[in-house]
């Protein structure tokens, strides 16, 4: 998979993209993330990428030209399945969307900043608008990093077997059951007896019941979804 990120603040993305799972995926040749500075595409003599809103509203709006030129250049080089704009008024991101995007070959993320981007970019150049939650951040960079992390870890071969994404919370619509490690008792706090029983079938049943109980208690909304 190849992911191109368009941003006015590339510094915000260098660290998350060069560490942990994303670094491992790129070292293994399974995913490549390229960060592009929108400013490099500006034809303005001061490399400006924003301007005042026509409405007179306070706050700057990201201009069309540098974003259109950057997108045109990338789209001339390869075919992209989605051009995603990260924005608080987009569709809410979830595991299903992560699963779906993890099967794509090429993706573009456009990170918004300031008061937003010129609506004509959204109307004509963006194929999908996604939010990571009902709160407003300064820009879309951290939202893109969150989404890209959860997408890339789903690509086969990125995670080792023991951390397989198939057993993640949300993957089957339920939260994960609790996990324990040695010692079996610490300060009188005991690991549930059943986990020490060695009875694989009973343990599996217990894990499922725990998942269901946790989901009912913490996220009953998940049980109501289709």
Residues that bind ligand ADE (CB under 6 A): 86-88, 112, 131-133, 135-137, 140, 143
Task: Quote the least distance from Cβ 167 to ligand ADE, whole Å.
Answer: 27
Query: 67 near 121, Cβ under 8 Å?
Result: yes
Task: Quote the least distance from Cβ 141 to ligand ADE, whole Å.
Answer: 8
Beta carbon nearer to ligand ADE, 88 or 173: 88
Beta carbon nearer to ligand ADE, 136 or 201: 136
Alpha-carbon gap, residue 163 to 142, rounded angstroms: 24
Beta carbon nearer to ligand ADE, 50 or 210: 50
Beta carbon nearer to ligand ADE, 8 or 140: 140
Three-point CA angle 158, 168, 106, nearest 5°: 40
**By beta-carbon distance, which residue lies closest to ligand ADE?**
143
Task: Quote the least distance from Cβ 137 to ligand ADE, whole Å.
Answer: 4
Q: Name the nearest CA neighbour of 86 among 76, 101, 66, 69.
A: 101
Alpha-carbon gap, residue 9 to 37, rounded angstroms: 7
Alpha-carbon gap, residue 25 to 157, rounded angstroms: 8
DSSP collapsed to 3 states, 103-135: CCCEEEEEECCCCCECHHHHHHCCCEEEECCCC
Beta carbon nearer to ligand ADE, 12 or 175: 12
Alpha-carbon gap, residue 173 to 51, rounded angstroms: 44
Task: Quote the least distance from Cβ 69 to ligand ADE, whole Å.
Answer: 22
Task: Quote the least distance from Cβ 24 to ligand ADE, whole Å.
Answer: 25
């Amino acid at each position: 998979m190849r992911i191109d990120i368009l941003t006015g603040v590339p510094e915000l993305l260098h660290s998350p993209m060069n560490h942990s799972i994303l670094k491992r995926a790129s070292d293994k040749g399974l995913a490549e993330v390229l960060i592009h500075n929108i400013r490099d595409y500006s034809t303005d003599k001061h490399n400006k990428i924003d301007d005042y809103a026509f409405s007179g509203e306070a706050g700057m709006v990201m201009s069309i030209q540098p974003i259109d030129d950057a997108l045109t250049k990338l789209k001339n080089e390869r075919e992209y399945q989605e051009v995603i704009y990260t924005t608080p008024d987009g569709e809410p991101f979830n595991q299903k969307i992560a699963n779906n995007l993890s099967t794509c070959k090429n993706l573009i993320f456009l990170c918004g900043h300031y008061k937003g981007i010129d609506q004509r970019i959204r109307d004509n150049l963006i194929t999908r608008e996604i939010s990571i939650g009902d709160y407003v951040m300064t820009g879309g960079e951290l939202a893109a990093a969150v989404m890209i992390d959860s997408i890339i870890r789903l690509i086969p071969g990125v995670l080792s077997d023991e951390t397989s994404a198939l057993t993640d919370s949300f993957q089957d619509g339920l939260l994960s059951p609790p996990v324990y490690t040695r010692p079996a008792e610490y300060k009188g706090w005991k690991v549930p007896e059943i986990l020490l029983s060695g009875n694989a079938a009973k343990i599996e049943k217990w894990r499922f019941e725990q998942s269901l109980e946790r989901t009912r208690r913490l996220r009953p909304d998940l049980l109501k979804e289709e």
